Amino acid sequence: MNVHDLDAYEADMELQLYREYRDVVGTYAYRVETERRLYLANQVDVHVQHAGGEVFYELNLADAWVWDVHRTSRFVRTVRVLTFKDVNVEELEKPAFDI
């Protein structure tokens, strides 16, 4: 496999991942971004921690989907994330259903 083939493979995997994201995003309540990954989750608990003068964030996500090309299973029951970088938690709007 040469560099061009590897680039094409990675681009194809990113496109497949985006399509999966687009298909599942409507079933989640939150979109969570860290410096390393993007998550969709139905429950998010964020705790600011202090240790040795440093501040870090501990996130506990439940019923989650993980944006990661290298994971074989992106749907997980729980995820624990520790990060020293900013965290963005966005509540997703649910579409209104007319009855």
For 59-82, how does the pLDDT look when each residue is reduced to its tens digit (9 = 90+)?
A: 999 999 998 877 778 899 999 999
For 50-88, letters b (16+ CB in 10 Å) and e give eeeeeeebebebebbbbbeeeeeebeeeebebeeeeebe
Question: Is-contact 53 35, C-beta < 8 A?
Answer: no
The torsion of the CA quartet 40, 46, 51, 81, rounded to 10 degrees, works out to -20
For 26-60, how does the pLDDT look when each residue is reduced to its tens digit (9 = 90+)?
A: 999 999 999 889 999 999 999 999 988 999 999 99
